[in-house]
Amino acid sequence: MPRKVYLKLTALDEARRLWLEGFSQYALGAEEVPLHLAQGRTLAAPAEARVSSPAFHGAAMDGAALAAADTFGASERRPLALRVGEKAFWINTGAPLPPGCDAVVMIENLVPGRDADGAETVALEKAAFPWQHVRKLGEDLVATEIILPAGTVLGAYELGALAAGGVLRPLVYKKPRVAVIPSGSELKPLDEVTPGMLAAGAALPEFNGLILSALARDAGAEPTVLPIVPDEPELIREAVSAATLGPYDLVVVNAGSSAGSRDFTPDTIAELGELWVHGVNIMPGKPTALGRVNGKAVLGAPGYPVSAVISFEEFGQTLLARWQGREIPPRPRDEARPFQDLPSRPGTEDFLRVKLGRVDGRLIAVPLPRGAGTVSSLSRADGLIRIPAPAEGLGADRPAPVAFLRPPSQIDGALLAVGSHDQTLDLLDSLWRRRDPGRRLTSAHVGSLGGLTALARGRAHLAGSHLLGPDGVYNRAAVAETLAGTPARLVRLADREQGLILPPGNPRGVLGLADLARPDVTFINRQRGSGTRVLFDRRLRQIGLEPAAVNGYEDEEYTHLAVAAAVLSGRASAGLGARAAAAALGLDFLPLDREEYDLVIPERHWDDPRMQSLLETVRSPEFHAAAAALGGYGLTRTGQVVWTFEG
Amino acid sequence: MPRKVYLKLTALDEARRLWLEGFSQYALGAEEVPLHLAQGRTLAAPAEARVSSPAFHGAAMDGAALAAADTFGASERRPLALRVGEKAFWINTGAPLPPGCDAVVMIENLVPGRDADGAETVALEKAAFPWQHVRKLGEDLVATEIILPAGTVLGAYELGALAAGGVLRPLVYKKPRVAVIPSGSELKPLDEVTPGMLAAGAALPEFNGLILSALARDAGAEPTVLPIVPDEPELIREAVSAATLGPYDLVVVNAGSSAGSRDFTPDTIAELGELWVHGVNIMPGKPTALGRVNGKAVLGAPGYPVSAVISFEEFGQTLLARWQGREIPPRPRDEARPFQDLPSRPGTEDFLRVKLGRVDGRLIAVPLPRGAGTVSSLSRADGLIRIPAPAEGLGADRPAPVAFLRPPSQIDGALLAVGSHDQTLDLLDSLWRRRDPGRRLTSAHVGSLGGLTALARGRAHLAGSHLLGPDGVYNRAAVAETLAGTPARLVRLADREQGLILPPGNPRGVLGLADLARPDVTFINRQRGSGTRVLFDRRLRQIGLEPAAVNGYEDEEYTHLAVAAAVLSGRASAGLGARAAAAALGLDFLPLDREEYDLVIPERHWDDPRMQSLLETVRSPEFHAAAAALGGYGLTRTGQVVWTFEG
C-alpha cells in the first residue's frame, strides 16, 4: 500500500482563482423557455420589453370614458349630462379607452339618467381633468426598455414583469448539468439500503450523492448521481472519461481523494487531462482535487460528508453560479464570541460549525463536533466560523466573524440553553417551534456545572442542571455558589431516574455500584462537571469505592445517549445515566437514584417573551405527554418554580 | 351598474388573525417520501434516528485496526511488529473494526514487513491509545434521538442528517394545493397570447396566475391555475364551488374583488360559505376578501398585479406556512431615509416599493411608482416601506423602517445613481453586473438638476446630468452652483442627439420648434429640472416663442421613453428627447442638438472600489458596442474625466 503525499497545499483563494479562470471561457449555452417553466432560471441576456405595458391608454377604474374637454363647466349646481355611446362610454378597469377619450370618471361619481330623447346618459357634477384614472400607454414598461439585466434569477416578481413586457419565452441559461460519481467498494446505493441493514452494520450507505445533488440544485444545476464505482483506478478512470465525454458540465468524483491508500482521483485527472490543484488548505475539505478533463470541470471531493459539502460549496457551487452569471449571495454575517477556546492548526483554514444565541446583546458561539463525518454538525449548526490559516485558534470571548446558516431572525428567536443534556430538551425544542413558529431552543451540552458557569458569565439564557448538593438537595447549593450576584429562578423540568445502563439481559450480573470494581466489568464515565458525574462520585464515596478501582473511570462521554451507545457497542459493560437513554437503545437499567432536573433561569431573562413562551410549552399537556412517553420521568412538578435565588 | 361599498375595512393584523384562527384546525395530512424527492419539503413530525451513525465502531483513517493494549511498549528504538490477520487488520476509512480491536494506526505510521515465519507484519514505533482514529458508534447520531424537529424545511444538510440516521422516508406534510381562479371577461390565457396581439391591444393577458403560482411554490405549495371565468356571478359561484369541493386547500379568486361594479367574490363567499373579511386597510391590496367555503380557505385577491401580490403574500403565503408549521423568515430590515416626502392617506397602511442605496453610511430610499398596475415596481424594488395606517406620510430624510427584497449584500453592492435618465444607464447596469457579480447600478430618474441636488445632500453616489449652461457649456455651471463645497469629477458617458420625436412619417410635417405653436400640434413636455426641459426652454427663448403658445407645454413626462410612448399613442404629436428613444419605438426623429451627458461623481466616492469597477465597465469595449447599437450616441470621449470641480 503506497502512500500519497500532498506535494503542496494550495490556499483556498488561489485554488478558487485557478479553477474559475480555467473555466472562464466555458459557455453553458442558452434556451428560451415559457414563463410558467422559468421560475428559478437565470436570464442569459438582458430582457427587453417587446411591448409597452399597458400597450394602450386603459381605464384605471370602472366607470365611463370620455373626453375631458367635453366636461368643462360641470358643477354640483349644474350637472352635465353626456349621452352614453356618443360622448361617454361604459368602461371596465383595464379596457382600452375608445378613440377621442382621454379621461375616466369613476362609476360612483356618475348619475345615470335619460335625456329628452330617452337616450341613456350619465351626469357629472365635476369636470374631469385630462388623463384622470387612465393608465397611460407605457406607464409600467415602454417597449424596448431593459426589464431585467442578464444574470437575474427569475422569481415571482420577475416573471410578472416579463409577462407585462411581452417577454413570453425569456432566454435563460441552460441548466448546468452535474454528475456525481461516488467511489468506494464498500458503498451501497441509498435506495438499496434498509434501516435494518444499517443497524446491523451490513451496509455503508452512499448519501453524499444526495447531499451534493441538493446543493447543485440550490445553485441552479441539474444533478445526476452516477452508479457507485469500486476502488479500482481503472474503473474510476473509465467513469471519469465517460462522464466528461457525456452531457455534464461539472463532474464530481466523491471520495478517493484522501491522501490515504485509495487516492485515485488526482492521478485520474492528471492522466486524462490537467490537474491544477491537489490539496487545499481548508479543514474539512483538504483533499480536494481540481482539474479539467475533456474540456469539462472535474472536482475530486473528499469522502467524509462535511468535507464533501465544504469542497462542493467552495468550488462546485461557485463555478455553477459564475457560469450562469449569477451571484451566490454571501451569508449574513456578524461577530460572535466563542464559548470556549477554539484551537486550530496553523496552515489550514478551519471551518467550524457552531450553535448561536444572542445573550444580553452578545452573540455566543458554541462549537459543534469538528469531525468531518458528523453530518449532523451541519444540520444542527446555526453558523460557520472560519479560523484563518495563519491563526493558532480563537480565544474564548474574543469576537470573531461568523456566517449565519439560518436567517438572522431565527438566531434572534432562539434561546440558548447550555448545561446538562436531557432528551426532554430536544422534545421541548420540537414542541416549542410548533407552538410558536420562529422560536428555537438551541442547546449545547457542557454538563450541569458548565451550564451554571456559562450563566454566570452571560453566555447562555438558561441552563439545565441536576447537581446533587452536599446537603442532599439538588441544584440550590451549586446555584448559590456559582451565580452569586445573579438572581435566578429554578423551574422544574422533570424528576428523572438515574441508574446503571447495562447490556440487554445484564449478562455480567451487575447488581450495584460495588460491582464496578469487578475486573470483568468496564465502566463508561461522564465528563467532570456533569451532574451525573457528581452523583457518581458522591455515591462511590458513600460506599467507600476508590475511582481507581473502577475499570474505565477515565473513559468519558458527554451525553446519556453516548453512554448508552458505548454500552450497546460493547465498548463498556456499564454506565450511569437516565432511564430514557437505556430505554431508547433497548438496554437494561438498574435504578439507583431519583434526581431533580431543573432549568436555571436568570431573573433578567425571566420576562423575555421568548422565555415566557418556552415556559408555556413546558407546562403544556403536549410536553407532559411526550416526556412521559420517554419513560423514567416524574412530571408532577414540571413547570413549577421550585426555588428563587435572590442573588 | 350598482355600486358596492366596503362596510368596514379590517385592520391587517386583525384580518390575519381571523383568517389564521379560522383555519387553525385545518390539517394538511402527511406522507412519507424518499429522501431524493424530499428537498424543500417540510417535516410533519420530529425525525428520530432509526439507527446510530456510525452504527458500529469504524475506522476514521486508512491503516490497521488493532487492540491498543497489544501495542504498549512500542517505541522508535524498539518497534513492535504485529502479525497481519491475527493482531492487526488492514482497514479502510469507514469500515467496521474487527472484533477485539479498539484503535486504528494510520498507514503512514506502519512499517510493513515479515516475521521469522514469513508471515506479513506491520511494525509500530509508538503505542496506540484506545479509540484513536476510531469513529465510535453513535458519534454523529444515537438511535432514537431527535435529528430534526417538526416544521424543518429539508435542505441539503438536513437530507444528509436524515440519511445518516436511517430516516430514508421522512414524514412530510402533503404539499398544500392552491387553485387560482382568474376572473375577467376581457382576459386571455398567457399561452394563447403573442407579443403582436399585446402590442395591438388585442388581448389583456392573464398573468397574475403565473405570479401567484410562483409565490405559492415559494411557500411550499403546489399551484394550479384554473380556466379564466367570465364576469358572471353564476359562473364565479360555480367555479368557487367546484374548486372548494375539489382537491385544493386554498382557493384564490383573482380580480372581481374591487369595490367596483364587478365585485362578485365577497358575495360568492358569503352565499356559499362564510365571509369573514371584505376590505383590508392596506394599499395596494384593499379589496381583499377572506372566508371559508366547503371547509376550504377562499381568498378574494384584487385584480391589479401588485395588489394581488401583496394580498397573497399577507394572507395566502402566511396560511400556507402556518399549515406546514414552518416560518416564512421575515425579510431583513433596516432604517432608510426617504428621498422625498411620501404622503399617505390616513386609515390605510401603504406598501411602498423603493430603490435603495447606502450613501455615506446612510440608507437612501427612492420611491418607485405607486400604481397597483406597475408590476415592474416589484421587480425593480430593493425594499418595501410600510407607512402605518394612522400616519399621513413620511417626511424626506426621516429614518423609516424598510424591509429588504434582496440580500443585504446586494444593497451594499449597489451604487445609487439619481438624476437624468438615459437608456445607456440600463445598459451599463446590465453589463456591470455581468462583469462584477454582486454589483448593481440602481438608478432613479428625477432629472439632471434633481440629481445634482441629491448629490449635494448626500442622497446619491453619482448623478447623470446634461444641463446646458448659460455659457453654452454643459454641466459645469450647474455643478459649480449646486455642489459648492463638494469636489467632484465629470466623466463623459456619451454625447447624444436630442431632437423632436414625431409620429412615424411625420404626418403633421413638423420641421422645427417653431411648428410647436401650430394649433394642430400637441407637445409632450419633460418635467422641470430635467436637462431636456432646460434645453427646450432655452431654445424656445432663442426663437422667441412663449411657453404659453405651445399646446401641451404643461403636460409632463419623466423619461425619454415615456415621451416617445406619448407620441406613439397619439397623446401628443411631438416631444423633445434622445434619438435612441425615438428609434426604440420606431418613431421619426428631427435632430436639434448634440448634447453632453456626463456622470457627476463626488470626489469622496471616486476611490470607492464599486465606482472604479463601474468606470471600468464604462470604458469597456462591450459598453461602447452596446451603446453604439442604440443609435444617436457619440462615444469618442466616453469614460474620460472631462472636468474636475475643486468644490
Amino acid at A588: D
pLDDT higher than 90, residue B250: yes
Q: What is the pLDDT of residues B336-379, one digit of tens each?
A: 999 999 999 899 999 999 999 999 999 999 999 888 889 999 99
In chain A, residues with a C-beta closer than 8 Å to the C-beta of B262 are 62, 92
The residue of A93, A129, A423, A555 whose CB has the most chain B CBs within 10 angstroms, and thus the best one to mutate to test that interface, is A93
Cα-only R_g, chain B: 34
With cut-offs at 50, 70 and 90, classify the pLDDT of residue A45.
very high
Asked if A375 lies within 8 A of B205 by C-beta distance, the reply is no
B63-66 vs B103-106, strand pairing mode: antiparallel
Surface of A (478-507) touching B: CB under 8 A: none
Which among B163, B195, B429 has CB closest to A205?
B163
Surface of B (544-573) touching A: CB under 8 A: 555, 559, 561-562, 564-566, 568-569, 571
Choice between B173 and A200, residue whose per-residue pLDDT is larger: B173
Mean pLDDT of A275-298: 95
- Per the CB < 8 A criterion, the answer to whether B105 and B89 are in contact is no
The answer to whether residue B200 neighbours chain A at the CB level (below 8 Å) is yes
Mean pLDDT of A52-69: 89
pLDDT in the model for residue B549: 95
Asked if A571 lies within 8 A of B137 by C-beta distance, the reply is yes
Distance between CA A495 and CA A630 in Å, rounded? 13
Asked if A146 lies within 8 A of B426 by C-beta distance, the reply is yes
Determine the distance in angstroms separating the CA of B432 from the nearest CA of chain A, rounded to an integer.
Answer: 10
pLDDT higher than 50, residue B260: no
The answer to whether residue B20 neighbours chain A at the CB level (below 8 Å) is no
pLDDT in the model for residue A2: 38
- Per the CB < 8 A criterion, the answer to whether B291 and B298 are in contact is yes
pLDDT in the model for residue B11: 95
Asked if A149 lies within 8 A of B429 by C-beta distance, the reply is yes
Strand partners, A124: A80
Task: Give buried/exposed letters for B187-204 (b at 16+ CB in 10 A, else e).
Answer: bbebeebebebbbebebb
Directed axis angle between helix A423-435 and helix A609-618, to 10°?
A: 110
Spatial CB neighbours of A300, under 8 Å, sequence gap ≥ 6: A252, A253, A256, A257, A265, A266, A269, A278, A287, A288, A289, A290, A291
The answer to whether residue B145 neighbours chain A at the CB level (below 8 Å) is yes
Asked if B195 lies within 8 A of A51 by C-beta distance, the reply is yes
Size of interface A-B (CB pairs under 8 A): 398
pLDDT in the model for residue A6: 52
Q: Which DSSP state fits B68?
A: G
Strand partners, A491: A599, A641
The proportion of chain A whose per-residue pLDDT surpasses 90, expressed as a percent, equals 77
Which among A141, A369, A434 has CB closest to B150?
A434
pLDDT higher than 80, residue A545: yes
The residue of A4, A105, A210, A215 whose CB has the most chain B CBs within 10 angstroms, and thus the best one to mutate to test that interface, is A210
Reduced to 3 states (helix: H, G, I; strand: E, B; else coil), residue A485 is coil
Spatial CB neighbours of A37, under 8 Å, sequence gap ≥ 6: none
pLDDT in the model for residue A263: 67
Spatial CB neighbours of B548, under 8 Å, sequence gap ≥ 6: none
* From A193-197, A292-296, A627-631, B178-182, the region with the lowest mean pLDDT: A193-197
Asked if A214 lies within 8 A of B262 by C-beta distance, the reply is no
pLDDT in the model for residue B263: 67
Mean pLDDT of B115-136: 92
Mean pLDDT of B409-425: 93
pLDDT higher than 70, residue B3: no
Residue of B nearest to A370 (CA): B140
**What nine digits make up the cell of A442?**
438551541
> Got the DSSP string for B101-161?
--EEEEGGG-EEEE-TT--EEEEESSPPPTTTTEE-TTSSB-TTSEEE-TT-B--HHHHHH
Asked if A303 lies within 8 A of B93 by C-beta distance, the reply is yes
Which among A136, A332, A379 has CB closest to B158?
A379
pLDDT in the model for residue A60: 87
Choice between A259 and B72, residue whose per-residue pLDDT is larger: B72
The answer to whether residue A24 neighbours chain B at the CB level (below 8 Å) is no
Q: What is the pLDDT of residues B421-466, one digit of tens each?
A: 888 999 999 999 988 888 999 998 889 999 999 999 999 999 999 9
Determine the distance in angstroms separating the CA of B11 from the nearest CA of chain A, rounded to an integer.
Answer: 22
In chain A, residues with a C-beta closer than 8 Å to the C-beta of B438 are 327
pLDDT in the model for residue B231: 84
Q: What is the pLDDT of residues A628-642, one digit of tens each?
A: 998 889 999 999 999
Determine the distance in angstroms separating the CA of A256 from the nearest CA of chain B, rounded to an integer.
Answer: 11
Asked if A160 lies within 8 A of B217 by C-beta distance, the reply is no
pLDDT in the model for residue B423: 87
Burial class for B582, CB neighbours closer than 10 Å (0-12, 13-18, 19+): buried
Asked if A201 lies within 8 A of B326 by C-beta distance, the reply is no
With cut-offs at 50, 70 and 90, classify the pLDDT of residue A405.
very high
Which among A146, A201, A208 has CB closest to B56?
A201
The answer to whether residue A140 neighbours chain B at the CB level (below 8 Å) is yes
Asked if B584 lies within 8 A of A151 by C-beta distance, the reply is no
With cut-offs at 50, 70 and 90, classify the pLDDT of residue B5.
very low
Q: For residue B361, how far is the Cα from the chain centroid?
A: 23
With cut-offs at 50, 70 and 90, classify the pLDDT of residue B256.
low
Mean pLDDT of A13-33: 96
Determine the distance in angstroms separating the CA of B135 from the nearest CA of chain A, rounded to an integer.
Answer: 8
Q: What is the pLDDT of residues A522-544, one digit of tens each?
A: 999 999 989 999 999 999 999 99
- The per-residue pLDDT of chain B, averaged, comes to 92
Determine the distance in angstroms separating the CA of B250 from the nearest CA of chain A, rounded to an integer.
Answer: 19
Distance between CA B205 and CA A467 in Å, rounded? 70
Burial class for B471, CB neighbours closer than 10 Å (0-12, 13-18, 19+): exposed
> Got the DSSP string for B493-550?
EEEEEEEEEE-TT-TT---SGGGGGSTT--EEEEPTTSHHHHHHHHHHHHHT--GGGS
Mean pLDDT of B56-65: 89
Spatial CB neighbours of B77, under 8 Å, sequence gap ≥ 6: none
pLDDT in the model for residue A436: 87
The answer to whether residue B378 neighbours chain A at the CB level (below 8 Å) is yes
pLDDT higher than 90, residue B20: yes
Q: Tell me which residue of B152, B170, B153, B50 sits closest to A429, measured CA to CA.
A: B152
The answer to whether residue A144 neighbours chain B at the CB level (below 8 Å) is yes
**What nine digits make up the cell of A228?**
457507485
The residue of B61, B137, B157, B307 whose CB has the most chain A CBs within 10 angstroms, and thus the best one to mutate to test that interface, is B157
The answer to whether residue B51 neighbours chain A at the CB level (below 8 Å) is yes
Which among A166, A309, A564 has CB closest to B195?
A166
